[in-house]
Structure 1
Amino acid sequence: MKSVSTSFWLWLLCIFGFCGIHRFYLGFIWTGLLWLFTFGLLGIGQLIDLFRLRGLTTMSNMERQLERRSF
């Protein structure tokens, strides 16, 4: 299970220029790359993710549970 607090701390790495690391942690690789190379969509996407972080974490956890059940 992914943690909201860990996602938030990874989100804070944008202060040091590492935008999108929280998306890699949650399993959203393609958008993580997009955020990383565009500095979080010029900061706008990074700011939006601050408010969506709890929902993104919940969605990631639900997808993992569904993957486990399908095997």
Structure 2
Amino acid sequence: MKKLLLPLFTLVLLVASSSLMAQCSLCTKTAQQLGEGPATGLNNGILYLAFMPLAIIAFLGIRWWRSTRGEA
């Protein structure tokens, strides 16, 4: 059951993150002037750039947690 919980939680977060708005107020004002298409692209780019460092930190955290538990 525990092995299924982490992938399921990750999947739920990935599905939910597609509807998030990641723009700051200044980016929102600029994107509104450009139109709907560029605003969506800007929002997706912000989410993509935020995801990569968090994924790396999660990977390192999981490796550290497994090594302290004695699993390899």
TM norm structure 1: 0.36
TM norm structure 2: 0.36
Larger Rg: 2
